[in-house]
Structure 1
Amino acid sequence: MQRTTARPPRRALRASAALLLPATALILASCAAPATSDADATGDPVAGGDITFARLSSPVTSLDPHDDTLITINAYTLDKVFDTLYALDEEGEPQPSLATSYEVSDDGLTWTFSLRDGVVFSDGSAFDAADVVYSIGRHLDLGGALPLGAPIIGVTAVDDHTVEIVLSEPYTPLLSELSVFSSSILPEDLAGLDEDEFFADPIGTGPFTVEEWDPSSTELTLARNDEYWVEGLPYLDTVRLTTVDDDNQLVQQVQSGQADIVDDVPIANVEELEANGDVRVQSVGSWNQDIVFFNTTSDVFSDRGVRRAVVQAVDRDALTEATTFGTGTPARTFIASTIRYSDQDVDALEYDVDAAKDELAASEHPEGAAATLLVEGGSQSRAQQAQIIQASLAEIGVDVEIETVDSATFWTRFPAGDYEFALSTTIADTGDPDNVSSWQVDGDGVTQAFYTYYDNDEVDALVKEGRITPDGDERAAIYSQIQEIVAQDSPSLSLDYVSEIKAAGAHVHGLQLIPNGTVRLENVWIDPQS
């Protein structure tokens, strides 16, 4: 699904789908731990130690992967406690985790997963196929903030270490969907506990367990899972997850050593942090984009011509240069350039003030219009973007009032359609284009085109076709066509594609960044000499 910076009821995009392979093709097992992205680490990793990880987000409110109110910080905690069958690597590609391999039948309807042997949950109980069947079944029943889109009609345990998933029609993004937090594997029947009891102190196969957590608190402490199936990992004893109120606190805490790692580094401070020898800045090409959404049911933006006028009035090149400090690139399509089948050569509307004025003159608002831009607060760069948009639209006769609200308010009003147009940051959960198109432009989708209420029958049909088409040239052509139609209809305005940027003390090594914003901590170790 796809998300946003403080990210909404969890995230609205899906990505990086594996190839739809014939039954004879087998993805071989990989027992090694995921590679670390820390190129500066020297010497052998050292076990032990405690770190503090500060984030600019809300406190953890739930550890249930199928909670329908799940927000980003919850989701980014789940992958520390639970594993999935496959897990995304630093390129955003699914790699073996609790499953070692899979096969797909020739008709694309039956996926057979071989499970890793010798894995136990944090309470010492054995992991087997029954846990997978239960977990996928629970996910299908409850849906949650990131429901399975796959048309699953059966999940069975062939034996203790083999699971078969049967679909009603081919579905290329399945492996990607099984690689994100919402597809976490829980013990069968929650180990005999009721939901409240289980999720207060969850049992998982991930690298960490929950040591201390009060849902009313801004902190959660994770401890090493001594039963973790990767020998020798994790290195750390504990990880304290905490939250801060704004960008300035993030920067101050990592510079002072109060936090060992900080999330969502403000782009305005990247150069400052890179110049600090006590801090290491890491980034990865992400599935992020800053984006303006038009409520196509509103009086002003129900008019296609007004939307097109707005798109052509905003100089994305200049805006990106002014607001991302070299960490972003101008956007051309709603599918970020790092996601499979993004077509950066699509026939998109270009910056052209005269053309924008002509579009507005031919619209139902030829004398100009007034609209309120709802802005998710908390980001200096987003506030600057809003001001640039306001000034740009004034040039063509569109009067913009900026209304900045906190993340909680934004993600209450935006999904309810209580806005005219809105500015936020979204991020895909996987690298497969269906993750984006299903949530952002599919009028029949669960989010009604990500709360823009855009509905184009041709786009809807193409989105469905893209899901069932195996990876290759034919699938690429489908997504190019979708992007071209959407670019002309303009239900949204993608401003830029931005990187995932984290910062850590120079003593911290082994931090692994995933393009969907996830941070893997099992390989993190502390250099006692730093």
Structure 2
Amino acid sequence: MTITTTGGRAALAACKAAAAIAIGLTLAAAPPQAAAQKRSATLVFAQEATPPTLDPYFSSSIATRNVAMHIFEQLVTRGESNQVIPELAESWKVSDDGLTYTFKIRTGVKFHNGKELTSADVKASFERYKRMALARVSLAPVATMTAPDRNTFVITLTKPQPIFLEELSAFVVPIAILPAEQADREGNKIDLIGTGPMQFVEWVPDSHIRLKRFDGYKPDTRYKGNEGFGGQKNVWFDTVDFKIVKEPGARVAGLESGQLQIIEDLPPESAKRLAGNKSLVLYDLKNFWLHGAWVNHHRPPTNDLKVRRAMQLALDMEEIMEISTDGAYAVQPGLQYPGNPYYVTDGKEFYNARDPKKAAALLKESGYKGEELVIITNSSYQSMYKAAQIVSEQLKAVGFKVRVDVFDWATAMKRRADKDVWNLWFTGQGSGPSVGPFSAMKDVVSPQKNQVVADPEIDKLYADLVSGTTVDARKATFGKFQSRVYEQVLFLKFGDLYRKQAARSNIKGFAPYRIPRLWNVWDEGAR
């Protein structure tokens, strides 16, 4: 496989990185004991929350991605170390002026309905994404998209964008490739047909989502095992059930009894108790998400900056994180993690200031008249639920009137869409290992703007970021962005949440990642 460029300073850096990946594709580690792998009947994976949808263009929820990333694939995706790697693309090249990206599509790839993938499907998918996806800002610089022949897809930009491949490969709201026949479907109305190693079988509400092994899947032999969301994907189970188990104790009990083979979240206290259990394997997954809350700039009283600043001053992030995560956390001001190329501390003076007296004084100065501040949280993710209770009490202590509304995850997501019914919306902003500053910024950039009201300064900073020609320039812009988030109180970051996962010891090949990968996982005891 080759990834080539005909020049263009803006595109060259991205393509050099991609070319390096191409050279190293065959070096990916092969799954151990491959010869011993045998097919088994069913793998049961327990997750905390019900997906709001399985249409990947309309959800940034981890509950959606857990399932959808097994059904769908992307043109390009991310590797183990966050690098851009090909998936359904065979190769690509970039023009001298950095405006035209020409992709060759892998041949012989089939959708779950038996239809062979062509460039027409890729084009139709990108057009649907540009028209309606949550993160459609990723494709805002696209001028034209064409499919000149069956295996060629061409994108032309209005201006060079050095990080365009990073945008295409992001997976918070992935550009999943669908059959062209789905292009005109409304949001959440698609048939769940992709090119992934598993295909959709059924969704039983509040119980499970069942996928089955796609026997027509063509593994990507350029790789020898897992490589981020790419790689050579082999499924060793006839069916995989994503079991919805909201209560932590029930997940732990199911794991111990063997009814569940893998669980996505093991409470820290349970991890201590199970540490010596030889029938289980425990895994650490650090920096799982930024624990925090979006702040609605439309609905009173949080439409007033002084009120928002008073909230910011009232909160004790150490207390919030200690109680809500059972001690599995870190407190630091960055919206990226230490060690990330874009880690900055700009705006740190606003983070975890912990000054209730000043908060109360500023709230009085704002003219606050006791308007009800509505918190939306959910019962599906216990860390979010607990954090909402603590934040509520801390805000009440400085003079706020607070109401906490609790819903299941899917209902909470629907409520968030109504800008008139909430002030704080509790969430976890996925950040590692493969979500960088571009995805972080999309959440506050038009048209997504999770703070509801557009911020022209934030929109401008995003445009500057994606057009920056060097990492240093982009990092400086990201610093300004982070400062703006804190200054305007767009997002209240509490801290960095860590997570433990666990599996039965007979389940081999499982490696913790941002989203669970249930390919290349097998049952050692299969006969």
TM score, norm. by length of structure 1:
0.81
SS in 1 for 2:236: coil
Q: CA deviation at 1:335?
A: 4.9
Q: Pick the aligned partner of 1:424 from 422, 427, 430.
A: 427
**Which of 128, 134, 157 is residue 138 of structure 1 equivalent to?**
128
By how many angstroms is 1:42 displaced? 6.9
SS of the aligned residue for 2:136 comes to coil
2:83 maps to which of 93, 112, 119: 93
Pair 1:250–1:475, CA change in 2 (3 A): same
User: Is the contact made by 1:139 and 1:148 (CA closer than 8 Å) also made in structure 2?
Assistant: no
Give, in whole Å, the separation in 2 of the partners of 1:234 and 1:259: 18
Give the SS at the match of 1:240.
Answer: strand
In the alignment, the residues of structure 2 paired with residue 183 and residue 522 of structure 1 have an alpha-carbon distance, to the nearest angstrom, of 20
Q: Shift in Å at residue 80 of structure 1?
A: 1.4
Give the 3-state SS of the residue equivalent to 2:349 in structure 1: coil
Match of 2:349 in 1: 348
Q: For the residues of structure 1 that align with 2:407 and 2:190, how far apart are their CA atoms?
A: 31
Aligned with 2:440 (options 421, 436, 443): 436
Partner of 2:227: none
- Residues 45-83 of structure 1, C-alpha deviations (whole Å, 9 max, x = no match): 512113111222226854x444x4786544432221222
Aligned to 1:493: 492
- What is the Cα deviation at residue 257 of structure 1? 0.9
Q: Over aligned residues, Cα RMSD in angstroms?
A: 3.6
CA deviation after TM superposition for structure 1 residue 428, in Å: 5.3
Aligned partner of 2:218: which letter? Answer: W
Partners of 2:288 and 2:486 lie apart in 1 by: 19
Say if 2:38 is the partner of 1:47: yes
Partner of 2:209: 220
Identify the residue that residue 156 of structure 1 maps to in structure 2. Answer: 146
Cα distance in 2 between the residues matched to 1:174 and 1:477? 19
Q: Shift of residue 106 of structure 1?
A: 4.1
| 1:389 match | 391
Q: Which amino acid aligns with 2:424?
A: F
1:27 counterpart (18, 21, 24): 18
Pairwise CA distance, 1:307:
1.6
Q: CA deviation digits over 1:251-270, x for unaligned, max 9?
A: 22112111111224445533
Q: Identify the residue that residue 473 of structure 2 maps to in structure 1.
A: 474
Q: Post-superposition shift, 1:479?
A: 0.9
Contact 2:135–2:442 (CA under 8 A) maintained in structure 1: no
Tell me the CA shift for residue 104 of structure 1: 3.0
Q: 1:58 aligns with which of 50, 64, 67?
A: 50
Contact 2:14 2:165 in 1 (8 A): no
Q: Following the alignment from structure 2 to structure 1, what is the Cα–Cα distance between the partners of residues 468 and 427? A: 31
1:526 aligns with 2:518: no
Q: Bigger CA drift: 519-528 or 402-411? A: 402-411
Equivalent residue number for residue 483 of structure 2: 484
Q: CA deviation at 1:320?
A: 2.1
- In structure 2, the CA distance between the partners of 1:394 and 1:241, relative to structure 1 (3 Å rule), is closer
Q: Which has the higher contact order (CA 8 A, sep 6+)?
A: 1
Distance (whole Å) between structure 1 residues aligned to residue 320 and residue 79 of structure 2: 31
Q: Closer, same or farther in 2 for the Cα pair 1:47/1:416, shift >3 Å? A: same
> How big is each residue's C-alpha offset from its partner over 1:316-360, in whole Å with a ceiling of 9 and x where there is no partner?
123323332343212424556576524235433122334334433
Tell me the amino acid that sits aligned with residue 38 of structure 2: A
Change (3 A) 1:124 1:383: closer
The Cα of 1:118 is off from its aligned counterpart by: 4.5
For residues 323 and 42 of structure 1, do their structure 2 counterparts lie closer, same or farther at Cα, with a shift above 3 Å needed?
farther
Structure-1 residue corresponding to 2:224? none
Sort the Cα spacing of 1:396 and 1:108 in 2 relative to 1 into closer, same or farther, 3 A: same
CA distance in 2, matches of 1:61, 1:306: 34
Aligned residues: 494
Q: CA deviation at 1:399?
A: 4.0
Paired position in structure 2 for 1:239 = 240
Shift, 1:478, TM fit: 0.7
Deviations 1:112-133 (A, max 9, x none): 2233345444566543433322
Instruction: After TM superposition, list the pairs within 5 Å mapping 1:169-248 onto structure 2.
Output: 169-179=159-169, 180=171, 182-189=174-181, 202=193, 204-210=194-200, 212-214=201-203, 218-230=207-219, 233-248=234-249
Structure 1 gaps of 5+ residues are 1-18
Q: 2: CA distance between counterparts of 1:74 and 1:402?
A: 25
- Helix, strand or coil for the counterpart of 1:178? helix
SS in 2 for 1:386: helix
Provide the secondary structure at the position in 2 that maps to 1:156.
strand
- Identity of paired residues, percent? 25
* Structure 2 unpaired stretches of 5+: 1-9, 222-232
Bigger Cα displacement from structure 2, 214-223 vs 50-59: 214-223
